[in-house]
Amino acid sequence: MAEPYAGLYLVGGTVRDILLGRPNFDVDVAVEGDAIELAGALAAELGGRCRPHGQFGTAVVLYGDGKHVDVVTARRETYAEPAALPTVEAAGIEEDLFRRDFTVNAMAIGLKGNDHGRLVDPFGGQKDLEAGTIRVLHDRSFVDDPTRIFRAVRYESRFGFHMDEHTEALAREGVAGIGLLSGARLREELLELLEEEQAPTSIVRLGDLDVVPATEATAKLFTRLRELDRRYGLDVPDWRLGLAALGLALPSAEVAPFLERLQLRRRDARHIGAAIEDGPRLVEQLRDGGLTASEIVALAEPDHPDAPLLALALDDQQALHEYFDRLQHVKLHIGGADLADLGLGESPRVGEILAELRRRKLNGELDGRESELAAARELLE
């Protein structure tokens, strides 16, 4: 059978991480030829499935338990307009490498025939990798695609690398172009940055580059939010904590437009907005102390968990530790069905009585199912 491709290569981050000796489970492959056909053959070989994206000439091969290989047709990209998606056409591996973001991500390793094991490194990626340098391939790079500013910052933080002086100057000029990006692309890059372990370092750097008005204090707040989130097992995604920290650094009139710009799901936007608005207010409301448990819950719970979490990160108050540690978990043993058994049909009174019982339970006035039922009977009378 004639082979459907001229060249086959590992590319991009896969090569970078091999050279760095870092584990990477994302395998990226570029083909000089038909990526979808090759992916089909690879899937058959691995006993996996091929998911083609005909429109882009790319495919994902899924195999084993959750492993995957991304296969792309080697291609040239041209940008008709800054920050828009490029026009693509099939090309050789060197041109494919030229469309990439940084020299350290623009290397390939041959997988086929005489090329097997050969490092293709037309832009000095290996040297930059050794020196810890993030360098663009050409001067229009950030104009073509301003998401690369976030990517540069992410790699700087993750690997402890630094942009070379020229790249950094281009990045500073390119910041103005971020406004041209679609909300979805901006969101994806920002979220990816905020999800990384070294994200606090990236936040400081984004502030330094004037991408966002963040400072060391913003990064510290984010670090604290992450610690508290883990400590209390709240499972708020890191990116949402990061956006709350970043949003708090904005003038209040800019918070809503910032969240809208990112086209978040409504529920996420509401959590973040509530944290930014109500977190600091909660700090004030709790500052003087002397509140009962039920009063603390009444203040903290409506915007659980983001707002009370932000309040706690801003001001280490015992009442909020108590809230996350214990009070948030206080639940009644009885419910609507028990009230129905006591003769109360569907009515707003059900909710009112349950709320009153919970208030009493939080304040330590009830203990166990029997005492809840007794109190319910008394309230019904």
Return the number of the residue (12 or 305) whose C-beta is nearest ligand ATP: 12
Q: Is 148 in the site for ligand ATP (CB under 6 A)?
A: yes
Report how far residue 207's alpha carbon sits from residue 210's, in angstroms, rounded to the nearest whole number: 5
CB of residue 180 to ligand ATP, shortest distance in Å: 14
3-class secondary structure, 149:
helix
Q: Is 28 in the site for ligand ATP (CB under 6 A)?
A: yes
Site for ligand ATP in 294-333 (CB under 6 A): none
CB of residue 243 to ligand ATP, shortest distance in Å: 19
Sorted by sequence, the CB contacts under 8 Å of residue 83 that are 6+ apart come out as 143, 144, 145, 146, 177, 180, 181
Give the pairing of strands 67-73 and 108-110.
unpaired
Return the number of the residue (28 or 278) whose C-beta is nearest ligand ATP: 28
How would DSSP label each residue in 79-146? -SSTTSPPEEEE--HHHHHHTSSBGGG--EEE-SGGGTT-EE-TT-HHHHHHHTEE-BSSTTHHHH-T
CB of residue 276 to ligand ATP, shortest distance in Å: 28
Return the number of the residue (101 or 121) whose C-beta is nearest ligand ATP: 101
CB of residue 209 to ligand ATP, shortest distance in Å: 17
Q: Is 101 in the site for ligand ATP (CB under 6 A)?
A: yes
Residues 58, 147, 157, 167: which binds ligand ATP (CB under 6 A)? Answer: 147
CB of residue 293 to ligand ATP, shortest distance in Å: 45
> How many other β-carbons are positioned within 10 Å of the β-carbon of residue 290?
7
Q: How far is CA 68 from CA 8, 52, 57, 91, 287, in A?
A: 17, 13, 17, 24, 51
- Binding segment for ligand ATP (CB under 6 A), chosen from 78-86, 144-152, 217-225, 274-282, is 144-152
Q: Is 100 in the site for ligand ATP (CB under 6 A)?
A: yes
- Binding segment for ligand ATP (CB under 6 A), chosen from 85-93, 142-150, 229-237, 284-292, is 142-150
Place of tokens 């395998």: 27
161 with 132: CB under 8 angstroms?
Answer: yes
- Binding segment for ligand ATP (CB under 6 A), chosen from 97-105, 160-168, 171-179, 305-313, is 97-105
Return the number of the residue (101 or 306) whose C-beta is nearest ligand ATP: 101
163-202 residues labelled b (16+ CB within 10 A) or e (exposed): bbeebbebbbebbebbeebeeebbbebbbebbebebbbbb
Q: Is 202 in the site for ligand ATP (CB under 6 A)?
A: no
Q: How far is CA 329 from CA 297, 361, 367, in A?
A: 11, 12, 15
Q: Is 32 in the site for ligand ATP (CB under 6 A)?
A: no
CB of residue 147 to ligand ATP, shortest distance in Å: 5
Q: Is 174 in the site for ligand ATP (CB under 6 A)?
A: no
What is the Rg, in whole angstroms, of the alpha carbon atoms belonging to the chain? 27
Residues 32, 121, 145, 303: which binds ligand ATP (CB under 6 A)? Answer: 145
Return the number of the residue (237 or 335) whose C-beta is nearest ligand ATP: 237
Q: At what angle do helices 306-314 and 293-300 cross, to 10 degrees?
A: 110
Sorted by sequence, the CB contacts under 8 Å of residue 322 that are 6+ apart come out as 293, 296
Site for ligand ATP in 8-27 (CB under 6 A): 12-13, 26
- Binding segment for ligand ATP (CB under 6 A), chosen from 42-50, 128-136, 140-148, 328-336, is 140-148
Note the residue count of the chain: 381
**Which residues are near ligand ATP by CB under 6 A?**
12-13, 26, 28, 100-101, 105, 145, 147-148
